Amino acid sequence: MNAVHVIPTLLIAAAISLTVGCASEPGMPQGAAATRDKLTLLQGDPQLNSRAPVALKEAETAVLAAEQPNKDEAFGQHLVVMADRKVEIARAQAQTRFYEDQRKQLSEQREGARLDSRTREADLAQQQNVQLQQQLDELNAKQTERGMVMTLGDLLFASGRSELRSGTANNLGKLAVFLQQHPDRNVLIEGHTDNVGSSAANFSLSQRRADSVMSYLQGQGVSSSRLGASGKGEESPVAGNDSASGRQLNRRVEVIIRTTSSAQY
């Protein structure tokens, strides 16, 4: 064989050898691209990508290793499986923490709603208490051990009489409105006199006057079950009976305003 034929033959052999060598170089293991896609999807999820940073970093490292060409096909597939598992672990951890955060947020919202509700209830109760106090102030009711006491002077009645004077029931009208607005309140009406006259006569007069006030309230729509009347006569003075002013203070009707639970007639 002459030199002219040898050179082309060598070139052809070299080309064939190069082709065979390139064909035998290992490529990316099968499945590595799909695993990369799963990781990319996880990294792009705004709800998950920041909730498991350590697991996500481990998944990234595992995917990079699985993407490398490997002459040992079985080992390359093993790396792909491990990388896929790392991605799934990262996703599971991120989802778990996402659900935990959601539950915590819902719990905080519920607690906030309960707090708002309690605040509104407290504000409403405070407003009601203020309104109640204003109404009691209008009635000139005073706090005592027996409850709120509204004192009605002897101007409601003519001397020695038990019928209410016409045009003198203004405070009683306010009391009737108050009781209609507060059905949880009961009243005990007590009649009192000075010591002028006999004890028996004074007791009878005080009872009739208490009954007159009770009848007025019943006529204004206050249930009789919420009312009680008692005559005390001259036995509970609030001033001395040795002066006209003292006796006038003793001639009175007291209305004790109490809640239903504490009312005892």
Residue 250: other Cβ atoms inside 10 A: 21
What band does 137 get if pLDDT is binned at 50, 70 and 90? confident
Query: Alpha-carbon distance 28 to 230, whole Å?
Result: 104
Compute the chain's Rg from CA coordinates: 49
What band does 265 get if pLDDT is binned at 50, 70 and 90? very low
Domain boundaries, the chain: 27-138, 140-262
Decide if 251 contacts 154 (C-beta within 8 A): yes
Model-level pTM?
0.53
> pLDDT tens digit string along 17-69?
544 444 456 789 999 999 999 999 999 999 999 999 999 999 999 999 999 99
Please tell me the least confidently modeled range out of 39-43, 102-106, 171-175.
171-175
Q: Is the pLDDT of residue 95 over 80?
A: yes
Query: 146 phi and psi, to 5 degrees?
Result: -90, -10
Decide if 32 contacts 66 (C-beta within 8 A): yes
Burial category of 255 from C-beta neighbours within 10 Å (exposed 0-12, middle 13-18, buried 19 and up): buried
Q: Which residue is it, tokens 């509104």?
A: 120
Q: How far is CA 237 from the centre of its chain?
A: 50
Architecture of domain 140-262: 2-Layer Sandwich (3.30)
pLDDT value of residue 100: 94
Q: Is the pLDDT of residue 170 over 90?
A: no
Q: Is the pLDDT of residue 82 over 80?
A: yes
Query: Alpha-carbon distance 186 to 177, whole Å?
Result: 13
Decide if 230 contacts 243 (C-beta within 8 A): no
